[in-house]
Amino acid sequence: MQVSEKYYDEIFDFKGQWDLPSKCGLKIMDKSDKKVVIVTELYQDNPGTSVTYAGQSLATQICEAKGLDFSKIIYIECNPDTKSKLSFYDEEFFEVDFNDSSHTNYRLLSKKEVDDFFLYIF
């Protein structure tokens, strides 16, 4: 199951859990005074840790590699449409908030939010 390149501009190599070599799709956009960082799960094309399990470590690695201020990003995880009959491969976008030190907060974006915000990039 291949992930369409429409979801990302580049493949980003990162260190996953236990420094396992991992890959995700990456797209960075401007929005007001922030950068929107969209990481896309690549499923079988990722030899290591998923974007969800990499979490804040992945966000930090992207900021360091791209010269971004971590406090000025909006971090989005994309589970892309893979045309699978299995529902857990349905397209979903989550805004991820790392500001709470005790746990990470995920908010599923509604179809309207995705359409309003992301329509012009996909």
Percent of the chain with pLDDT over 90: 57
Between 99 and 71, the higher pLDDT residue: 71
Residue 34 pLDDT > 80: yes
Domain boundaries, the chain: 8-102
pLDDT the model gives residue 40: 94
pLDDT the model gives residue 118: 62
Residue 122 pLDDT > 60: no
Which DSSP string corresponds to the chain?
Answer: -PPPGGG-SEEEEEE-GGG-EEEEEEEEEEETTEEEEEEE--GGG--S--HHHHHHHHHHHHHHHHT--GGGEEEEEEE-----SSGGGS-EEEEEE--STT--EEEEPPHHHHHHHHTTT-
**pTM (predicted TM-score):** 0.87
Highest mean pLDDT among 30-34, 57-61, 109-113: 57-61
Between 9 and 103, the higher pLDDT residue: 9
Mean pLDDT, rounded, of the chain? 87
Tell me the pLDDT tens digit for each residue of 76-95.
999 887 777 666 667 889 99
